Chains A and B, each alone.
Chain A
C-alpha cells in the first residue's frame, strides 16, 4: 500500500516542460546553418583557341611530346592512340609527366561526342592526380577521336607497329599529338 502512494507522487512529475528544449534546438539549428558554409568543388580545364584566333605556335624542337588521352564513345581510353585501361593510363601518365618542367605538364583530352561527361571528368581528375599541371580539351571532331583499327592494335601488341612519339619513331616535333589513323583497310 505504501508503494501505491509512492507511485502517485511520481505521476505528478509527468509533465516535463519541453519548451526550453525546443528553444535551444532551434537556436542550435540556426547557429549550424550560419557556421557551416556550403562549399563548391571545382577543377580548371583549358579550352582550345577560338576559331578566329591565331593558331598556337608549334612546340619547339626537343619539347616533350604532347600527351593526348582519347575517350571513345564506349568510355574506353587511349593515350596517344595506344588503347589502355585506367590503371595503365594512370601509370603511364605518371611516368611521362615525371621530370617535366611545370609548363610542359600538360595533358589534352579528346572526347567522343557520346562519351559520358562523368568519364571525361574522371579522366581530367586522373590526369591531375598523375601530376598534370594543366588539362585541356582538344577541339571536338565530328568523327570522334582518332583510333587504331583492330588490325593495328594487333600489330601494336606484336610490336610491329610504330606510332609517332613512341620510342624508335622518327622525331617529328611538329606532328600533332593525334595523327589521323590510317583509313580502315
Chain B
C-alpha cells in the first residue's frame, strides 16, 4: 500500500506543463519554414551544384532572372514571357547587375534563349553570371 501512495506522489511531480513550450517551438518552426525560401532573391529554383563559384552576400544587389524547370521565366518574382522579359528587366533593374538562376531540370535551350535575349537587347551583358549551389567539401558531386 505504501508503494502505491509513493507512485501517486511521483505522478504529481511529472506535471510540468509543456504546452507553452511546444507552442513556441512550433511557431519558430513555422517562422523558419516561411522565411527561409524568401531570404534569397528571386524565385525559388533548384540550382545546379558547382565547386568553383564565387560566393558573395545576397543583399539585393543583383536582379535575379529565374528560369524554372518547365521553362517559365521570372524577373525577380514576376513571371514574364519572352516578349516582355527585356522590358521588365528595364523596369526593375535600377543599375543592379544581373544574375541568372536556372533550374537544374531546365534544358540548355530554355536557359540559353533567355541569356541570348538579354545579351542581344541589353548593353553590357557580354558576361552572364550563373547562380549555382555550393558543393560542400567531401560531399559527392551532383553528377546527373
A140 to chain B: which residues have CB within 8 Å? 108-109, 112, 116
Q: Which of B16, B28, B67, B130 contacts A14 (CB 8 A)?
A: B16
Residues of A in contact (CB 8 Å), total: 48
Query: Which B residue's beta carbon lies closest to that of A19?
Result: B20
B15 within 8 A of A: yes
Min C-beta distance of A103 to chain B, whole Å: 15
Q: Which of A21, A44, A45, A115 contacts B107 (CB 8 A)?
A: A115
A169 within 8 A of B: no
Partner-contacting stretch, out of B33-41, B74-82, B85-93: B33-41
Using A18-B21, A22-B20, A121-B50 as known contacts, say yes or no to A43 and B132 having CB atoms under 8 A apart.
yes
Using A33-B35, A47-B119, A115-B107 as known contacts, say yes or no to A122 and B40 having CB atoms under 8 A apart.
no
A92 within 8 A of B: no
Q: Secondary structure at chain A's binding surface: helix, strand, loop or mixed?
A: mixed
Min C-beta distance of B28 to chain A, whole Å: 6
A21 to chain B: which residues have CB within 8 Å? 21
A128 to chain B: which residues have CB within 8 Å? 52
A117 to chain B: which residues have CB within 8 Å? 48, 67, 102-108, 110-111
* B99 and A40 contacting across the interface, CB-CB below 8 Å: yes
Residues of B in contact (CB 8 Å), total: 63
A125 to chain B: which residues have CB within 8 Å? 49-53, 132
B83 within 8 A of A: no
* A118 and B48 contacting across the interface, CB-CB below 8 Å: yes
B106 to chain A: which residues have CB within 8 Å? 116-117
- Distance, CA A3 to CA B5, complexed state (A): 10
A11 to chain B: which residues have CB within 8 Å? 9, 12-13, 15
Within 8 A of A (CB), among B99-144: 99, 102-112, 115-116, 119-120, 125-134, 141-144
Residues of B at the A interface (CB closer than 8 Å) are 5-6, 9-10, 12-13, 15-17, 20-21, 24, 28, 31, 35, 39-41, 47-59, 62, 67, 99, 102-112, 115-116, 119-120, 125-134, 141-144
